[in-house]
Amino acid sequence: MKRLVLVLLLALCTGAGALQAADKLKVGFIYVGPVGDFGWSHQHDQARQALQRALEGKVETTYLENVSDGPDADRAIERLARDGCGLIFTTSFGFMDATVKVAKRFPDVKFEHATGYKRAPNLSTYAARFYEGRYIIGQIAARMSKTGIAGYIVSFPIPEVVAGINSFMLGAQSINPNFKVKIIWVSSWYDPGKEADAAKVLIGQGADIMVQHTDSTAPLQIAEERHIHGFGQASDMIKFAPHAQLTAITDHWNDYYIARAKAVLDGTWKSTDTWEGIGGGMVVMAPFTNMPDDVKAMAEATTSKIASGALHPFTGPITRQDGTTAGEPGKPLPDPEILKMSWYVKGIDDKLP
């Protein structure tokens, strides 16, 4: 008897599931951090909520947070696919191979992988040109720093992070050719304590500008405490550092997510490679604060030049750390080279791990 009831219940559940799947598009998200990190994953989740609101009644969203990069990702993505998701966003570089694998197993499900470069007929990639914002903050840093040294806290040596450091440095060098950057790799996207420790160490060694490519607000809070300046990451962190934050490079995925879900609903979804920057609205600079008017004017001018395409941070020729050059004179570096960047520009004393 018990077993019969169970079977009936199961049948009911799956039946209901199938019915639901038929009239609504289920959209799944995989986050590398907690939605409450107030950084990278937070912004993706904001966009998920925007998608839910914009296509109310047509889509149903679900997410898995705190999914680590390794074999766990494989299972997490597969779980969403088995749960009946028709569209799945995997929102960290480290999910790349897992997404490719699962996409092969579920040819009818559409996949979207953020910041990667491997595509398939049912797997798109999308990313934001964060390096554009980093050029701007590099210029601001060079103008605002008294010691001429910035502290830069980074996670892992993936191309996006390396390109960010280079773009920052090129921006800074356009103002002060002797600008120095001290780099600490904390080997984590998210460890507030360790990020705070790294910030303290960098300040102790003379850095008076704090830059981060990690996801917590801790470095900026230390900057506030020690009366220096810094930049927010992924979301506007001004509340944590009202006197320290100069600006923040924020991600806006809302429009993209809504457009892609609509495309699936219309049946027009195709595997694409999207890479938008300030011009396309995926990267938005938070208000320029805590700086003199002339620095602000410079930052705004650079922002609009980058948005219009008049200025490209990686315009050749770029001198690499080892003295060789990259890119053709007067032309921007081709996108594939930026997406696979694994070298430092001249003037950075660190060595790539």
The binding site for other proteins (CB under 8 A) comprises 33-38, 42, 66, 151, 182-188, 190-198, 200-205, 207, 216-218, 221, 239-240, 349-351, 353
Per DSSP bridges, beta strands 273-276 and 318-319 are unpaired
Smallest separation (angstroms) from other proteins to the CB of 151: 7
Smallest separation (angstroms) from other proteins to the CB of 182: 5
Q: What DSSP string describes 133-176?
A: HHHHHHHHHHHH-SSSEEEEEE----HHHHHHHHHHHHHHHTT-
Q: Which is nearer to other proteins, 66 or 274 (CB)?
A: 66
Q: Which is nearer to other proteins, 39 or 138 (CB)?
A: 39
Q: Which is nearer to other proteins, 199 or 333 (CB)?
A: 199
> Amino acid letter at 33?
G
Per DSSP bridges, beta strands 110-114 and 87-90 are parallel
Q: Which is nearer to other proteins, 239 or 340 (CB)?
A: 239
Smallest separation (angstroms) from other proteins to the CB of 192: 4
Distance separating alpha carbons of residues 254 and 37, to the nearest angstrom: 18
Q: Which is nearer to other proteins, 158 or 218 (CB)?
A: 218
Q: Which is nearer to other proteins, 156 or 314 (CB)?
A: 156
Smallest separation (angstroms) from other proteins to the CB of 232: 12
Per DSSP bridges, beta strands 318-319 and 110-114 are unpaired
Q: Which is nearer to other proteins, 188 or 289 (CB)?
A: 188
Smallest separation (angstroms) from other proteins to the CB of 226: 9
Q: Which is nearer to other proteins, 274 or 321 (CB)?
A: 321
How open is the CA angle 247-248-254, to the nearest 5 degrees? Answer: 135
Residues 6+ apart with CB under 8 A from 54: 254, 258
Smallest separation (angstroms) from other proteins to the CB of 216: 6
How open is the CA angle 191-195-199, to the nearest 5 degrees? Answer: 175
CA 340 distance to own-chain centroid: 16
Angle between helices 159-173 and 130-144 (to 10 degrees): 40
Q: Which long-range contacts (CB under 8 A, 24 or more apart) does 115-122 make?
A: 115/160, 117/336, 117/339, 117/340, 119/271, 119/273, 120/271, 121/271, 122/271
Smallest separation (angstroms) from other proteins to the CB of 122: 32
Q: Could you tell me where the beta strands, DSSP code E, fall in the chain?
A: 25-30, 59-64, 87-90, 110-114, 123-128, 149-154, 180-185, 209-213, 229-234, 245-251, 273-276, 283-285, 318-319, 325-326
